[in-house]
Structures are given as structure tokens and as C-alpha cells.
Amino acid sequence: MTIYICGDSTAASYGPEKAPITGWGQVLGEFLPGVNIVNHAMAGRSSKSFLAEGRLIPVEKALQPGDLLLIQFTHNDRSDLTWRHTDPNGSFRNTLSIFVDTARIHGAIPVLMTPIPLRQWEEGELVDTHGAYVPAIRQLAMEKNVPLLDVNAAGMEALREIGEEAAKPYYMHFEAGVYPAYANGSKDDVHTQLPGAMLYARITADLLKAQGLT
């Protein structure tokens, strides 16, 4: 069995020159030893632009019966840019359905995933910033009888336990001059450093195992 990942920057793999940014898909293998993982996630892509650029084509050509296709989008689907934006209850569901149907045509198992949460607190409370997209993913999973990994829910629970300030090193928060690729430092609450990537990779692996998918 091979696990293929289709997603955005939060799942993508990065070279050492981009340190310390790390996507959860880059380290998923740490929690699934012996499983072949092929990460096609790409920064800046929505479900719509990923398809428009033909990025599903090499995945489709490689899929074999029994493989898993992990599908995780949302961050860039919320973009105001027409070529990336999708409507959560319209085109977003339609594009996700293409990933699902493609996997099934080839005998693979599609797995829908909710996005990782942002590190965003308001008045001492962690807030979900994804709007209608997360419920749309959950609803589509039920309608199409697709396994769902609710990483957003599990991740928010984990962040609440970690706490607002303690969660900063999980995301791209650091001072200027620490990393060559970020000379001015970073205060990014979307993308993860290694601790955050490991957290969401572990959650993903645990949810896969709990559903008997690995």
C-alpha cells in the first residue's frame, strides 16, 4: 500500500533551504513506519488550482488498488483570487468529489481530511477560522461514504491543551536573524515548524489507525 497526499502548503514537503517550515505530510512517515508515502501537496494550491494545473494526473497514473489518497484543502480555497477560490457549498464540494471519484475508479481508497487549525486566539479562546469549509468536508464525507480524518477538531483540542503562547514554536514564530530564509523573522499562524508538523502528522496517523486504514 502507498499513501498519496494531495493538499496545500500545510501538508507540503520543504528542502533544508526553506527551514524551519515543515509540512505534516513531510513527516507522516515517522508515525507510519514501513508505509510508502508520496507527497504531492504543493504550497499555494487550492482544490481548484491543484486540478487546473494537472497535479492530480501523476497521482491518478500511479494509484493502485488498496492505496490511500489523502485529500486536504481549504486554506487557499478561501482566497479572493478567482483562479483559487471555491464556494464551500458549491465548487469546493465538486472539486473534492473529483479527487474522491478518481481514487475509486482506480480501486484506491479516498480519505477526506479537514484542514489543520490556525493558531488564532480571540479573548483567550481558540477560534476556528475556516468558516463553512470544514462542515462542507464533513458533510461530503457522509454523503459519499468516504473515510474522514477530522484533523481540525483533533488539532484544536490539542492546541487548547498546549495553550496560546506555548503553541508559538509549533507554528512559524521566531525572531529575526535565526533562519537564513527568514531574515526578518516570522509571525505566521498558518504554517508549521517541525513540532507542529509532527503534531498534525501524529494526529493524522492516529486517525488512520483508528479507522483501520493502516
Residues noted as catalytic: 9, 175, 191
Distance of CA 181 to the CA centre of its chain: 23
Residue tagged 508559538 (cell numbers): 168
Cell matching residue 201: 502528522
Burial, 175: exposed, middle or buried (Cβ in 10 Å; 0-12, 13-18, 19+)?
Answer: exposed
Distance of CA 192 to the CA centre of its chain: 11
* Signed CA dihedral, 122, 128, 130, 135: sign only: negative
What residues contact 73, with CB distance under 8 A and at least 6 apart?
Answer: 6, 7, 8, 45, 46, 47, 50, 92, 95, 96, 115
